[in-house]
Amino acid sequence: MSPATSAAPLNGAPARMYLPIATEMEQVEETFRREMHSSYKYVDELVRYGVMLGGKRLRPALLLLTARAVGEVCPAHITLATVVEMIHTATLVHDDVLDNAATRRHLATVNARWDDEASVLLGDFLFSHAFYMTAAVDAAACRTIGRATNIVCEGELRQKGSRGCFELTEEDYYGIINAKTAELTAVCCELGARYAGASDAVATNMQSYGRELGIAFQIADDLLDFTGEEHETGKTLGTDLQQQKPTLPLIHTLNNTASAAERVAILDLLADQSPVTAILPHLDANGSLEYARQQAIAFADRAIARLESVPASPAKEVLRMLPDFAVRRSH
């Protein structure tokens, strides 16, 4: 078994040592820490806390793995990998205000430890610092990162606008998760490839890999809101339902499989803010949990197929594992 495949690669610090990009991931951490500081004590404590709030560092890992799979990792990759994690952290910090969340990955959220105001401003600080850093690369990177971030925001707004819209179609759902999640993972892989000197064809392929991985990941993540073990996911089950956020299993049942009578019964349950345990049997009986699982697997498989455009390498091996890993979480 090669070092690259001997452990789940993104699941905590020790396993990082097995990544073919372990040194570069350390450089990203160092860069993130070095950039997030202030001469003013209050600001300094807050922005340093921001560095710890990110999670699995999936996005920088994707960017660096793609770079390594295509060619060589260069200083622009370290900058851009730090930038994508900074932007992701900004969206998490703002999400936590909106969700009124108290903890994230066993750490108090900024809104819990400071307040909403500090969270909004920290998110803005992270966004603007990320854009400032990107400018050290070139204008094309600024355009790509600016555009992707804007699409992420639009996706989050679309999702917000669709709260309580239980007539949402699968197409709408895919449009939303494509924007709010897959746009950034797509851009990670595109930038990783481009700054390693990839041809347009390879860069486009890697962008598609990142997009399909992101979609697979989000379907699986949404499924966990119905079927996850709280002690494993660290999340409260049924949060999406509570927020009236329709995701794939529910959309599938309501639009594709439920009878008119069952549909009305489910909509009544939703209107009554019923717990997830009241909805789950309907989704299960309609095969919608399994349907969502299969859709996630299909996107994961499509992502893996994109890797044919790059030669065999330890980095490619990890990229091949990631979609399975993303989907397996929901099994």
Q: Which residues bind its own copies (CB under 8 A)?
A: 38, 40-43, 46, 90-91, 94, 97-98, 116-118, 120-125, 127-129, 131-140, 142-143, 145-147, 149-150, 152-154, 156-158, 160-162
CA dist 144 and 191 (Å) reads 9
Nearest Cα to Cα of residue 318 among 74, 1, 8: 8
Residue 207 beta carbon to its own copies: minimum distance, rounded to whole angstroms? 17
Residue with tokens 């404590």: 45
CA atoms within 13 A on the CB side of 90: 24
Closest CB 129 distance from its own copies, rounded Å: 5
- Tell me how far, at minimum, the Cβ of 161 lies from its own copies, in Å: 3
Looking at beta carbons only, is 37 or 331 nearer to its own copies? 37
* Full DSSP string of 191-207: HHHHTTT--HHHHHHHH
For its own copies, the closer of residues 36 and 196 by Cβ is 36
Structure tokens at 262: 């069952």
Nearer to its own copies, 41 or 106 (CB): 41
Q: Please check whether residue 246 is in contact with residue 173, taking contact to mean a CB–CB distance below 8 angstroms.
A: yes
Which of 153, 321 has the CB closer to its own copies? 153
Shortest Å, Cβ 111 to its own copies: 11
Q: Cα separation of 329 and 331, whole Å?
A: 6
Query: Minimum distance between the CB of residue 281 and its own copies, rounded to whole angstroms?
Result: 31
Q: Which residue has the tokens 């794939």?
A: 248
CB of 149 to its own copies, least distance (A): 4
Locate 151 and state its tokens: 């699409």
3-class DSSP state of 103:
strand
Rounded to whole angstroms, the Cα distance separating 172 from 182 reads 14
* CB nearer to its own copies: pick between 33 and 160: 160
CB of 46 or CB of 237, closer to its own copies? 46
Q: Interhelix angle for 183-194 vs 139-161, to 10°?
A: 170
- Minimal distance in Å, beta carbon 253 to its own copies? 24
Q: What does the alpha-carbon distance between residue 209 and residue 70 come to, in Å, rounded to a whole number? A: 13
Closer CB to its own copies, residue 141 or residue 224?
141
